[in-house]
Structure 1
Amino acid sequence: MAGRERLSGLAITRRGLIAGAAAGGGLLLAWYVWPRSYSGALEPGAQEHGFGAWLTVDEGGVVTVAVPQLEMGQGVTTLLPQIVAMEMGAAWGQVAVAPVPPNGAQANIPLAAKWAPLWSALPDLAGEPDSFLANRFARSEPFAATAGGSTLAAFESDCRAAGAAARAMLAMAAAERWDVAWEECEVAEGIVTHGQRRARFGELAAEAARMTPPDPPPLRPQAPMEEPLPGDVPASSAYPRLDLPAKVDGSFPFAGDIRLPGMVYVSIRHGAWGMRELVGFEEEAARGLGLVALVRSKFWLAAVADSWWKADRALDRLRPRFAGPGGVESDAVETTLGEALERTDVERLTVLGDTEAMQTPTLTRRYDIAPALHAPVETASATALYRDGRLQLWIASQAPAAARRVAAKAIGLSERDVAIYPVAAGGSFDARLESMHAIEAALIAREVGRPVQLTWPRGEEFKAVPPRTPAAIALSARLDPNTDRQPVAWRAKLAMPATMREFGARLFDDRTVEAAIEAAAGEADPLACEGAVPPYAIPNVVVDHAPVTIDLPTTRMRGNSAAYTGFATECFLDELAEIAGRDPLLYRLSLLGQDARAATVLRAAARLGEWDGGVEGTSQGLALIRMAFGEARGFIACVAQARLGEGGVRVDRLSAVADIGRIPNLDLARQQIEGGLIFGLSLATGASAVYRDGMPENRRLGALMLPTLGDTPDLRVDFLASEEAPFDPGELGVAVAPPAIANALHAATGLRFRRLPLLSEGL
């Protein structure tokens, strides 16, 4: 376990070298046995010296930081090393990165606690990050999933402690040489100084690694924090992304870039939802195609060849046939959701104030959410080598412990005999929380006896990854004529599958898609309904879940529940403001009560977006989103300028202001908000699936109505200065863009759009 892949400001390794070394056991870190002492997965290499679980220092001065999270575009391979470097006093140019597999020392305990209802029989006891049950589960699993904006909550304090301990140890080594007190030494830019004496990290590494750090570590007074400069102020980051040069020149390795000696390539075909069982194919057509092998399973057929193109074209000629009880139909799903909205046997998830306050609602509106496809640039890909009763698996996974477990189970191995090599993902949006391709690659590798690389075609990615859940949401409000027609009672009723429980049954219990649907049937799902309580001071609020069982499996997607609950809430608020005859901005501000952070964000967004009242003809719309993870809260408000143009919705400008607490890296935060706004735009205009006979009608990226470069609006993003707990910004923009755009279209056309995507119901 000595080698590892590194991303560094000093050197970027080419794809071929990384892949070749990986085949021989170098550069990429793997593990066969879970660490028992939770010492971490980062082991020093030649001329390197370990400083706990998080970092090593080599004799040339390179500081290598372990990153237990999947890099999928969000910049985690910059964020965590930056926190270590700032606390340690390392120069940014000497920092490298080692992606490491999950281990007990670097477990995502806060996310395990949040998802306790999905794995624990005692979720109330396991639901706090400091609970014994969450800690034990996360460390023993080990659970290091990359999801839910949990990276800072899970790892910032540990990274700071690791950097501070290493800084103290280096100062101790220098102080021993100079016969001074180590507390008198200064550590900055990779150098320890005392008066005129200087020593570089590399010179001190061997001695420092033997020192015993103080307990607790001597943290710097200020946590990592950058000033939130306005978006139009040019500034260069002191901590530019470590992966950026390699991504620009094409040398950054993704899952599909792995190359092993003697490797063959695999394409695959799956059945449709409801028609999953493979019942036959044109076996005679396989002759003369030059295939290495054909591998069939109950639910798929895979072709193996010396090129992926040959394997994929062969499957077209083989014409696999699938059968089942009947393919999923979108019309039937929508009917089921609508019927559920009429049910009275609902699960009450939230009660604030008086449940009898609703009486006769002033207004009730229904909002419909279509199932949405993740559509990452890189489709599911995994490389596997089975030899001598052991499996090696190169895979980009947001839940690598689960991928390892299901791959081992699929081919009858102990988990001790399966090694995972963590590889970056070319996008995910939570699609890589699913592990079906890990199972398939393992089975095919065992059958073929050679290194195999499985890559799903785009159509299979759309077909076989469960979509974000469809939903029907009914919102009701009673307005008080004596308070400028403000809502005094609010009810949200969500008809949808227990999608998070279904996802959890696959992730934690290794259920099949059918078994997971059955396990979640009829269950209330608070995690799936997060965000349904509006971010306003409404005295009486209830949230009801009408659980629905459909044959279409569902899963998480970037933005998660806030992407549909926020859409319904903010569109409904605009309708209430219209009934009250109020400016949508002033109406919202009047409802924010004592929430100063939300009000400040809303006012700042209105100034940035040059809000002019949102009345008909202005083409402006407004939305506000509040999210929380543990004690951290994030706020974003957006003013959209949109219209109907040639080809559909045209969004000219999105102006957003966010309060995400203390900001460790402003560039990363801005990238996340901007990327989230574009992702939210894609959900507003397309990205959805209509299922016919179990198949999504759209099988290509070009058919999803995703925004192109020419469709990208002018983006204006600002942040508010704050010293509150840092909140991950990755999902805020996703949730705020669709309702802001929908409200802008109302201002432009006078029409209300109550479906996602917005033009799916026609005009």
Structure 2
Amino acid sequence: MSDAVAPKKSWRPTRRQFLLGLGVGGVGALALGLPAMRLGLARAFDKGLTPSSDSLDPTVWFEVLPDDRVRLHLPKVEMGQGIHTALAQIAAEELEVPWERMEAVHATTTHGPVDNRGTSGSMTVVGLYQPLREAAATLREMLRAEAARQLGVPASALVAAGGTLSVKDQPGKKLRYGEVVAKHTGTWEVPEQPPALKPAKDFQVIGKPVPRLDLEAKLTGQGVYGYDQRLPGMLYGATARPPRLGSTLRAAREGKARQQPGVVEVVMGNDFASVAAESREQAHAALAHLELEWTGGESLQQADVDARTTVKDGEGVIVQDEGDVPEHLGRGKQLTAEYRTPLAAHAHLEPQAALVEVKPERVRVWMSTQSPGSIRKQVAKALERDEESVELMPTHLGGGFGRRLDAQAAIEAARLSRATGRPVHVGWTRAEEFRHGFFRPPTHHVLKASLEESGRVLAFEHQQASGDVLFSLIPEAAGVVLGADPGSWRGATIRYTLPHRRVRAQRVRLPVPTATWRGLGLLANTFALEGFMDELAHAAGEDPLAFRLKHLGDDELSRRFRRALEAAAKHAGWGTPAPEGRARGIACSVDAKTVVAQVAEVSVQDGRPRVHRVTCAVDCGLVINPDGATAQVEGGIMMALSSTLSERITLKDGRVEAENFYDYPLLTMKDAPDIDTLLVGDGDQPLGMGEPPMGPVAAAVANALFTLTGKRLRTLPLKL
């Protein structure tokens, strides 16, 4: 920063705010909050970030510690997707801090930025890339200005490198960042405008496969998850669950529950009955001694769900409409197909869990959650407390996938803690997680198209019906206005350059709780669209890759699709004979602006599909961490393959049949294919990465199986 760009605005932390920094960073630590409106952080706050009540102006993002470590407080939660590492890389790049000195921790709802929208949608790195760079660069310049004052030189004479500020012509005259902070007295000066950012050609940390910050904690068992959280004197809670879906509690009496071993309290309300005991086993055992009367609920069978999840021709909301589809669907060669996907569980390793301590002056919550701000609001509402009196500390998450947006475990623990005056831990059992959580909704797709004699698609229509996804999380009135759930038609629009194309989405109301699942509707819609595109290619007598390429235009998105398709195909050996007994299939999709193309190589073993290799070309823009991006591809493909080949929730007599992993089979290590990841993107901005790799998998596998067996499989999971 030149001397001409002098810092103009200052802030001085109050004693409470300074002690807040001391409590985390130790004596001499700088807890730094950066003004959102000037540094571009406003863009992040507009997306759901709000400052916490006890933080600096407006919120604590960084701490510079006396030992030169820089601790970054992040509002978005780390659940295995590597975002804390990526965000720390972004900050380290502008701060000029060695990677080994960077730390990243979850912000709590009283220390750091509060995230009211949750970590989802593959938007964390995308949304925070620019604001975080600006914040880090501003901190660097604040340290430069203070070091210049301490050394008695112009700020322009100092060079920042390796966490040290040194005089250009006198390298021995220098101060480490920690020294600058330790020697600082008075007021920190904040620039009115963010400094110029480092050009991409000078990046030394961004774009490098640095090791994950949370790796050691997870490998050594030091990481604490919500299910692991403990406090002295803590109790365990359990809540009665309805006998079948849709049942509600009509009447509840304690019965002999309070007399059972270890029971401390029984708490009942209009719609719940819970027990707190000295052990988890005692709490669950006591539930059997409550006298409960349930009413309502359907004796629902799986066939009922399938029948309700059916497209009604011409109904629903039009979400894409170009040209004149009704006029042209009847021309040329006409094709129609139907695709289905089932209910599915999240099946993460850690069930729902929360520890809550309710005291007169404040409430503390420890929880594995994707949405700290939202959970805090819901706990405060359940306890009829001011939101500011509730502090939520996010823990490690044993899987998220959209399931961790739910506050139920925290609410159950909060009620019991209020009643007992002691901390209460609620950890759902595996059976509770499978039978009483929410699921990925089932879908039904009707696809129609007409082909010209030249083999080009003239008109294409996609009608889909789905249970709720995002509508489960918003007021009913909003759902009525929107008509169809945007989450259900994620990935449903037709991206090929066609003269006539239309997509219609229909809402299906089900007596089964459905909501968010990784990628929302992406997997189901891509399975249908790319499966049908393959059918059209074969009907036209053309190679599936060539058919896709000829239906791409000259726009930027088409260019990116072409590059990804060609890269995946070339690497996979498309156009050359597959190994004996195997075949290849191809599919592509775009999600969170990231383009993905995949080639699956499959065989049939013992009458079942076996996937040997998946080649995945990804255009995700600027790659922050190649190793992290590759890991997201591999994890997404494995989860999507598991859903493609084996996962399905079924109902019988109003109950979910699965209660554990033994009757909800997941893909295992022995089933895992070789995965080749090609990062083919460019650009100066990162794009979404957590969910896009989920899209093409099912279609690519189904398309390969058709080439191999001649059977077109249109229902998940794929069964021959």
Q: Report the TM-score range of the alignment, normalised by the length of the smaller protein.
A: 0.7 to 0.9
Structure 2 CA distance, aligned partners of 1:393 and 1:525? 31
Decide whether the 8 Å contact of 1:429 with 1:557 is kept in 2: yes
Distance 1:636 1:697 in 2: 35
Q: Which runs of 5+ in 1 are unaligned?
A: 8-36, 45-49, 108-141, 230-236, 506-515
1:89 alignment counterpart: 96
State the 1:601 CA deviation.
0.6
**Separation (CA, whole Å) in 1 of partners of 2:615 and 2:103:** 35
The Cα offsets for residues 569-626 of structure 1, whole Å up to 9 and x where unpaired, read as 1111111111111111111111122211111110111122222479996421111111
1:77 maps to 84
SS in 1 for 2:472: helix
Task: Give the whole-Å Cα distance in 1 for the aligned partners of 2:544 and 2:236.
Answer: 56
Tell whether the 8 Å contact from 1:585 to 1:613 is kept in structure 2 after alignment.
no
Residues 702-717 of structure 1 aligned to structure 2 (within 5 Å)? 702-717=662-677
Q: Distance in 1 between matches of 2:576 and 2:529?
A: 19
Deviations 1:540-572 (A, max 9, x none): 111112222222221011121211111101111
> Would the aligned equivalents of 1:521 and 1:548 in 2 still touch at CA under 8 Å?
no
621, 624, 640: which one pairs with 2:588?
624
Q: Report the CA distance between 1:751 and its aligned residue.
A: 1.1
- Note closer, same or farther for the CA distance 1:617–1:225 as it changes in structure 2 (3 Å cut): farther
Kept after mapping to 1: 8 A contact 2:234/2:423: yes
Q: What is the identity, as a one-letter code, of the residue corresponding to 2:464?
A: L
How far apart are 1:97 and its partner, in Å? 2.1
CA change 1:584–1:694 in 2 (3 A) is same
1:88 Cα deviation (Å)? 0.5
CA distance in structure 1 between the aligned counterparts of 2:163 and 2:715, rounded to whole angstroms: 55
Q: Say whether residues 1:204 and 2:180 are aligned partners.
A: yes
Alignment CA distance shift 1:154-1:601 (3 Å): same
The Cα offsets for residues 493-524 of structure 1, whole Å up to 9 and x where unpaired, read as 1112353223223xxxxxxxxxx599659922
Deviation at residue 455 of structure 1 after TM alignment: 0.3
SS of equivalent to 1:265: strand
Structure 1 103/161 Cα, relative in aligned 2: closer, same or farther at 3 Å?
farther
The aligned residue for residue 216 of structure 1 is 194
The one-letter amino acid of 1:574's match is D
Distance 2:110 2:200 in 1: 29
What runs of 5+ residues in structure 2 fail to find an aligned partner? Answer: 1-16, 26-48
Runs of 4+ in 1 over 6 A off after TM superposition: 3-7, 223-229, 317-321, 613-616
Native 8 Å contact 2:316 2:483 kept in 1: no
Q: Is the 8 A contact 2:472 2:514 kept in 1?
A: yes
Residues 1:303 and 2:267 aligned together: no
Q: Structure 1 residue 358 and structure 2 residue 328: aligned?
A: yes
The alignment status of 1:150 with 2:123, answered yes or no, reads: yes
Mapped partners of 2:23, 2:300: distance in 1: 43
- Show the counterpart of 1:243: 214
Q: CA deviation at 1:724?
A: 4.8
Residue in structure 2 matched with residue 669 of structure 1 by the alignment: 629
Give the structure 2 partner of residue 688 of structure 1: 648
CA contact (8 A) 2:414 2:424 kept: no
Name the counterpart of 1:268.
Answer: 239
Q: Describe the superposition over 1:416-437 as per-residue Cα deviations: whole angstroms up to 9, x where unpaired.
A: 3222122221111010112222
| CA offset digits 1:447-480 (Å, max 9, x no partner) | 2221100000011112222111111111111111
Q: Which of 364, 372, 380 is the matching residue for 1:408?
A: 380
CA contact (8 A) 1:295 1:301 kept: yes
CA shift in 2, pair 1:694/1:389, >3 Å: farther
Matched, 1:501 2:471: yes
The aligned amino acid for 1:645 is Q
1:384 aligned onto 2:371: no
Shift of 1:492: 0.8
Work out whether 1:648 is the aligned partner of 2:620.
no
Is the Cα contact below 8 Å between 1:6 and 1:97 reproduced in 2? no
* Kept in 2: contact 1:42–1:55 (CA 8 A): no
| Aligned 8 A contact 1:255 1:382 in 2 | yes
**What's 1:581 paired with?**
541
Aligned runs of 1:178-189 on 2, under 5 Å? 178-189=151-162
Cα shift at 1:725: 2.8
CA distance in 1, matches of 2:627, 2:663: 32
Paired with 1:4 and 1:318, the residues of 2 have a C-alpha distance of 48
2:375 aligned counterpart, secondary structure? helix
What are the residue-to-residue correspondences of 1:433-444 with 2, within 5 Å? 433-444=405-416
Residue identity matched to 2:666: L
> For residues 753 and 225 of structure 1, do their structure 2 counterparts lie closer, same or farther at Cα, with a shift above 3 Å needed?
farther
C-alpha distance 336-299 of structure 1, shift in aligned 2 (>3 A): same
Structure 1 segment 353-752 matched on structure 2, within 5 A: 353-360=323-330, 362-388=334-360, 390-481=362-453, 483=454, 485-505=455-475, 516=476, 520=480, 523-594=483-554, 595-612=558-575, 618-628=582-592, 633-646=593-606, 648-752=608-712
Inter-partner Cα distance in structure 2 for 1:626 and 1:287? 58
Instruction: Pick which of 610-619 and 246-255 moved more.
Output: 610-619
Partner of 1:176: 149
Q: Secondary structure at the match of 2:568?
A: helix
Question: Could you report, residue by residue, the CA deviation over 1:664-695 in whole angstroms, capped at 9, with x for unpaired residues?
Answer: 11111111111000010111023321122332
User: What pairs with 1:54-133 in structure 2 (closer than 5 Å)?
Assistant: 54-101=61-108, 106=113
Query: Aligned to 2:86, what secondary structure does the other structure show?
Result: helix
Decide whether the 8 Å contact of 2:622 with 2:686 is kept in 1: yes
Letter in 2 for 1:381: A
Cα distance in 2 between the residues matched to 1:716 and 1:281: 59
The equivalent residue for 1:11 is none
Scaled by the length of structure 2, what TM-score is found? Answer: 0.86
Cα distance in 2, alignment partners of residues 369 and 228 from structure 1: 39
CA distance in 1, matches of 2:629, 2:540: 37
Q: CA deviation at 1:314?
A: 4.2
Deviations 1:4-45 (A, max 9, x none): 9989xxxxxxxxxxxxxxxxxxxxxxxxxxxxx96667859x
Residue 165 of structure 2 is matched in structure 1 by: 192
Matched, 1:312 2:284: yes
* C-alpha distance in structure 1 between counterparts of 2:23 and 2:344, whole Å: 34
Give 1:446 deviation, angstroms. Answer: 1.4
Q: Distance in 1 between matches of 2:205 and 2:490?
A: 31
TM-score, length-normalised on structure 1?
0.81
Segment drifting more, 495-504 vs 55-64? 495-504
Once residues 705 and 145 of structure 1 are traced to their aligned partners in structure 2, the CA distance between those partners, rounded to angstroms, is 29
| 1:65 CA displacement | 0.7
Partner of 2:249: 277
Residues 329, 460 of structure 2: 8 Å contact kept = no
> What CA distance in whole angstroms lies between the structure 2 residues aligned with 1:606 and 1:65?
41
Relative to structure 1, is the Cα distance of residues 160 and 522 closer, same or farther in structure 2, using a 3 angstrom cutoff? closer
Could you say what secondary structure the match of 2:470 adopts? helix
- Choose 391-400 or 518-527, whichever is displaced more: 518-527
Distance across 2 between alignment mates of 1:387 and 1:102 = 17
Percent sequence identity is: 30
CA contact (8 A) 2:209 2:628 kept: no
Alignment of 1:160 with 2:133, yes or no, is yes
Instruction: Kindly tell me the number of residue pairs found equivalent between the two proteins.
Output: 667
